[in-house]
Structure 1
Amino acid sequence: MTSTTPDLVLLVEDDRRLAALTREYLEGHGLAVVHVADGRRGLEEALSGRYEAVLLDLMLPGKDGLEVCRELRARSDVPVIVLTARGEEADRVLGLELGADDYLAKPFSPRELLARIRAVVRRARGRAGPAASTVRVGGLVIDPAARRVTLDGREIALTGYEFALLDALARRAGRILSREQLMELAGGSAEEAFDRSVDVHVSRLRQKLGDDPKRPRLIKTVRGAGYLLAAEGE
């Protein structure tokens, strides 16, 4: 990260020992970290607009982390990384469905967490890759410089990961992209493409674009192969 002041990250975690260790590591690598230990205060802080990213535990006092994620995403597009001791796929998928950009199961490597934070912040700032031109596919217009998406003139609010995913599909409209390719193009890890995370993000994109999941006209599923964004006229 190239800013002269440290990026500010919110850590919502009730395990104070884990929070202290995580904070020490992240601050030792150039971030500034604010720690809160309960869900209600965590939501208030996250909505303040001060933070580059929110690290959110699921099992919290005051307000459950999933509820925090749901309420936060309804009012803010700040990047959210869910930190959870719930290792089951269903819990990870639920977090993504509620709007989290990424997740990390406990116990996690602080180094991996740092890499995930940097990735979601880059995507949110529109710096996940080289500067790119505006792309148009039918009524869909994606402007990377302004990090703005419109469909038939209507602006669509997307998280950083959703924007990166849609941009990757749109620049290759009409081409089938596997889950592994989509993860890599959107700035994630291809190793994670074997779980349902890509499917969940695509489902959220369809919902925001008003695409019928049973008969999608924009983002189409190619069974056993991946996804494609329909080229104009398809």
Structure 2
Amino acid sequence: MIEILMIEDDLELAEILISYLEQYNIKITNYDSPELAISALRLKKYDLIILDLSLPEIDGIEVCKMIRKDYDTPIIISSARSNLGDKIACFSVGADDFMPKPYDTQELIFRIKSILRRCNFNVSKKEEESKKTIFTLDEEKMEISKEEEKLTLTNAEYHILAYLIKKAGFVVSREELLSNVDSIKYESSYKSIDVLIGRVRNKIEKNSRKPKYILSIRGVGYKLVNE
């Protein structure tokens, strides 16, 4: 359910919107006092804010400025004050949309969902960008790159590092490597795994004695850090 904080002193309008939008899975909590609304923001995270401009205690533009100072929650201004100066002022202090009263409730629903789609896309994009990996694997070309620079690896080194990349973040035992890495699975000792890991470390670590990417998990095996 979409959770909306509304700051509206027209209680009749607020009741109509609360009742109508509920059937579209949108829950509105309304406050006719800006101070109470801002206090509510400190206690709970809302998906969006609908803010009237003509409020009894503090002008809505000032309220918008106060909210934006501490929160990045999307704000739709809903007001009978629809002159260009007010619109410019609202957008300049951080409003995301402006709906002149009176407006159609279906249009309000459309704008709410449109803003939330855009915001969610931006959040997902930022998360994706923040999760860029150190090592990238191209199985078709049998290539591995570190921070976009292609590594020069032997066949055995490629396959062992490729397997670790696929299991990045998880501990991989020597036995698992012997069983699953084609180019080394016929090797008979764990020592051969350690030798290969040492060779790979020499090619990817600044200091192979203090590895940053391939970590030794004592008594178990190895773990690749890929972010």
Q: Which residue of 2 aligns with 1:38?
A: 33
Aligned-residue sequence identity (percent) comes to 30
Are the structure 2 counterparts of residues 104 and 67 from structure 1 closer, same or farther at C-alpha, using a change threshold of 3 Å?
same
Normalising by structure 2, we get a TM-score of: 0.53
**Pick aligned residue for 2:125 from 144, 149, 153:** 144
Q: For 1:123 and 1:94, how far apart are their aligned partners in 2? A: 22
**Which one has a larger percent helix, Structure 1 or Structure 2?**
2
Match in the other structure for 1:101 = 96
Alpha carbons 1:126, 1:147 under 8 Å: kept:
no
In 1: Cα distance, 2:12 partner to 2:110 partner: 21
1 CA distance for matches of 2:128 and 2:5? 23
The number of aligned residues is 130
1:72 aligns with 2:67: yes
Instruction: Please state how far the C-alpha of 1:127 moved relative to its aligned partner.
Output: 6.8
Distance of aligned partners of 1:148 and 1:43 in 2 relative to their CA distance in 1, 3 Å threshold: farther
Alpha-carbon distance between aligned partners in 2 of 1:18 and 1:59, rounded to the nearest angstrom: 14
Give the whole-Å Cα distance in 2 for the aligned partners of 1:93 and 1:67: 13
1:63 to 58, 64, 70: 58
CA distances 1:87-137 after superposition (whole Å, capped 9, x unpaired): 111111111111000010000111001111111111221179xxxxxxxxx
Name the CA distance, whole Å, in 1 between partners of 2:117 and 2:37.
23
Residues 38, 126 of structure 1: alpha-carbon distance in 2 compared, 3 angstrom cutoff: same
Cα displacement (A) at 1:62? 2.2
* CA shift in 2, pair 1:110/1:76, >3 Å: same
Shift of 1:45: 2.0
Matches within 5 A, 1:78-117: 78-117=73-112
Give the superposition deviation at 1:48.
3.6
CA distances 1:31-83 after superposition (whole Å, capped 9, x unpaired): 11111111111222234442000000011122221111001111110000000
Whose radius of gyration is greater, 1 or 2?
Answer: 2
